[in-house]
Amino acid sequence: MKFKIIFSFLGFLLLLFIAVPIFKMLTAADPAALLETAKDAEVYNAIFLTLRASLWATIAALLCGVPLAYLLARKDFRGKKLVEGIIDLPVIIPHTAAGIALLTVWGRNSWFSKLSGINIIGTEIAISLGMFFVSVPFLVNAVKEGFNLIDERYEKTAVTLGASPWKAFLTISLPMVKKSLISGSIMMWGRGISEFGAVVILAFHPMTAPVLIFERFRNFGLKYALPVTALLILISLMVFIVVRVFEDRKS
C-alpha cells in the first residue's frame, strides 16, 4: 500500500511540473486578446505555416524512414549500430548546432546551392528540412520498435502463400505496424511543430509560430507573447486529440 502511495506521489509531482505552467499560461491569456490574436493574419499564417511545414517533414520521413526502420528491425548487417547511432544523433546535438550544420549543406554558399542555382534558405522548404532533421528519430525509432514486435514468421507465411516480398510488406507488415506508424508520425509532427533552434537559423522569415513567439517576447514582452503561445498550444492539442480519438474509434 505504502509502495503504491509513494510511487503515485512521485509520478504526480512530475505531472504537476508539466501541467501547471501550461494551465497557467492558458488561463493567463486574456480571452479578448486571444480572440484578437486569432484574427491577426501574421499569427494565423505563422501557425498554419508551422503545421504545414512539419507535415511535409513527416510525410518525407514516412517515405524514407519506414523502409529504414524495417531494415533495422529485420536485418543484421555490418555497421547497423553506426546507422542507429546516426539516427539518434539529432536528439542529442543542440538544435541551433543542427541548424548551422544544415546551412553548410543547403545554405547560399553550399555545393547544393551553387550547382542547382536554387536558394532554399528562408523558405518553407528550409523550415521543413530543419524540422525533419531534429524530429525524424522519433518516427524511425517508433516504427522500428513496431516492426520489432511483429514476428517475422507472419511475413514468411505470406510469402509461402505466394506473396512477393513487396506484397507481403504492404499487406502484412505495414498494416500490422499501423499503431506505431500513427503514434510515430504524431510524435514527429508534434516535435517538428515545436522546433525553434534549427528553424530560426534556416529561416527567420517566413516566421513559424515558435519564431513568432520568440520575436514578440523579445520585442514586446510577455504580455504579447502569451496569446500566440496559448493559441499554438490550443491548436496543437486539438489536432492531437482529434487524431487520437479518430484512431481509437477505428481500432
Partner 1 sequence: MSLKLQNISKNFKQFALKEINLEIKQGEYFVILGPSGAGKTLILEMIAGLLKPDAGAVSGIDRGKIGFIYQDYMLFPHLTVYENIAYGLKIRKRDSREIKALIEKLAARQDIEHLLQRDVLNLSGGEKQRVAIARALAVSPRVFLLDEPTAALDRNARIKTRSMFMDLHKETAATFVHVTHDFEEALALADRIAILIDGGIVQCGRPDDVFNNPAGKETADFLGYRNVFGGKVENGLIDIDGVTVAVPLEKADYAYIAIRTDDIIISKQRIESSARNSFYGTVKNVINKSSMVEVVLEVGGAGSAPPNGIELAVDITRKSKEEMGIEPGMPMWATFKVSSIKIFRH
As measured in angstroms, the least distance from the Cβ of 141 to partner 1 is 22
Nearer to partner 1, 109 or 160 (CB): 160
Where do runs of H (alpha helix) occur along 93-221? 95-106, 111-116, 124-148, 152-160, 165-168, 174-176, 178-193, 197-202, 209-220
As measured in angstroms, the least distance from the Cβ of 142 to partner 1 is 18
As measured in angstroms, the least distance from the Cβ of 158 to partner 1 is 7
Cell representation of residue 49: 505555416
Cis preceding-peptide flag for 94 (omega within 30 of 0): no
> Which residues here bind partner 1, judged by CB under 8 A?
151, 153-154, 156-163, 167, 171-172, 175-176, 178
Closest CA to 46 of 222, 224, 212, 188: 212
As measured in angstroms, the least distance from the Cβ of 234 to partner 1 is 35
Collapse the DSSP code of 163 into the 3-class scheme (helix H, G, I; strand E, B; otherwise coil) and give the result: coil
Cell representation of residue 48: 498554419
Cell representation of residue 179: 499503431
What dihedral angle (degrees, nearest 10) is formed by the CA atoms of 199, 203, 207, 208? -20
Nearer to partner 1, 138 or 147 (CB): 147
Nearer to partner 1, 48 or 154 (CB): 154
As measured in angstroms, the least distance from the Cβ of 181 to partner 1 is 13
As measured in angstroms, the least distance from the Cβ of 173 to partner 1 is 10
Q: How far is CA 192 from CA 19, 75, 155, 219, in A?
A: 21, 29, 33, 25
What dihedral angle (degrees, nearest 10) is formed by the CA atoms of 13, 16, 18, 23? 180
